């Protein structure tokens, strides 16, 4: 899992660096993220992911102490945080698509790259979150049935923390740098 | 037996306290980032602060949540080239071309 994380981290780093460079190179880069709903939603999303990382750590800790029932509850709590993140993110996407008329290929501000980079970055991250939710659901069911060891839960925790870690870079670079005052 | 049980409890509570402390630190840094966005400092200062805070948050997540602080040195050395490469990628944002873009008149 660490080797996979290395590969994925380099992928996201390259995409983030390319996005930041294009953003700085475009004088009229749009700044459409109003305090409500965009910044508020993305801040709550950050809180959801950070809290889900905490619950995931508690799940790993519970498994290390042999408490499978508690581990399952903590994994389910992690999934609630991740599910809330996806729901809020999709709401934010629908707001941008319907109200701001923004697509990956065009928008009202005359900078097509804005939509392309935004949806590519956040879409790739959200895909990772959804895959993580599927992964955790399998872990929760299996651990509840007495399968898998503590190390297996720890490996799933590594993936989830990585997903959280990537958001720690996407949130400030994409949302906060384009916040509309 | 009771000493062992107390030792286990102490380890558990210390672990939980550390995790909650890290979580609170991450939340505080997030609040600082959002506050900075609305203070609107110059682009170079803003980007440096955001990237710096993100790196600190990433380090806390990797060290405590991903448990790297307590793993073998060989694992850290496996990750080290990737970390260096990511830092170089971030520094490219401040290299001549992008640095010139950031300080041009708006």
Tens of pLDDT, residue by residue over A159-175, are 999 999 999 999 999 99
A13 and B46 within 8 Å at the Cβ level: the answer is no
pLDDT value at B93 more than 80: no
Domain ranges of chain B: 2-103
pLDDT 10s digits, A91-138: 999 999 998 888 888 888 888 889 999 999 999 999 999 999 999 999
Nearest partner of B59 among B78, B34, B76, judged by Cα: B76
ipTM over 0.85 threshold: yes
- In chain A, which residues touch B (CB < 8 A)? 2-3, 6, 9-10, 13-14, 16-17, 20-21, 24-25, 27, 39, 43, 46-47, 50-51, 53-54, 56-58, 61, 65, 154, 157-158, 161-162, 164-165, 168-169, 171-173, 176-177, 179, 181
Task: Sketch out chain A's domains with CATH numbers.
Answer: 2-178 (1.20.120.80)
What is the full DSSP assignment across B27-44? HHHHHHHHHHHHH---HH
B50 and A50 within 8 Å at the Cβ level: the answer is no
Percent of chain A with pLDDT strictly greater than 70 = 99
CA distance B87 to B91: 6
Other CB atoms within 10 Å distance of the CB of residue B42: 11
pTM of the model: 0.87
A24 and B30 within 8 Å at the Cβ level: the answer is no
């Amino acid at each position: 899992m660490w080797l996979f994380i290395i590969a994925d981290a380099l992928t996201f780093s390259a995409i983030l660096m390319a996005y930041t460079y294009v953003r700085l190179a475009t004088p009229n880069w749009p700044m459409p993220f109003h305090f409500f709903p965009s910044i508020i939603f993305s801040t709550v999303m950050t809180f959801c992911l950070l809290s889900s990382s905490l619950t995931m750590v508690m799940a790993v800790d519970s498994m290390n102490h042999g408490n499978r029932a508690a581990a399952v509850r903590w994994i389910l709590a992690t999934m609630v945080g991740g599910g809330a993140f996806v729901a809020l993110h999709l709401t934010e996407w629908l707001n941008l698509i319907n109200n701001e008329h923004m697509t990956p290929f065009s928008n009202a501000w005359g900078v097509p790259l804005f939509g392309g980079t935004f949806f590519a970055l956040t879409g790739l991250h959200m895909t990772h979150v959804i895959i993580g939710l599927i992964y955790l659901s399998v872990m929760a069911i299996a651990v509840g049935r007495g399968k898998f060891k503590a190390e297996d839960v720890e490996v799933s925790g590594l993936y989830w923390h990585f997903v959280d870690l990537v958001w720690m870079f996407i949130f400030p670079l994409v949302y906060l740098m384009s916040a509309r005052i | 037996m009771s000493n062992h049980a107390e030792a286990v409890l102490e380890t558990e509570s210390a672990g939980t306290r550390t995790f909650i402390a890290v979580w609170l630190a991450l939340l505080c840094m997030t609040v600082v980032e959002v506050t900075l966005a609305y203070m609107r400092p110059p682009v170079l200062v803003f980007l440096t602060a955001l990237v710096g805070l993100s790196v600190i948050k990433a380090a806390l997540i990797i060290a405590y949540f991903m448990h790297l602080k307590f793993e073998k040195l060989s694992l850290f050395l496996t990750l080290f080239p990737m970390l260096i490469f990511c830092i170089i990628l971030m520094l490219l944002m401040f290299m001549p071309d992008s640095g010139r873009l950031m300080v041009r008149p708006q």
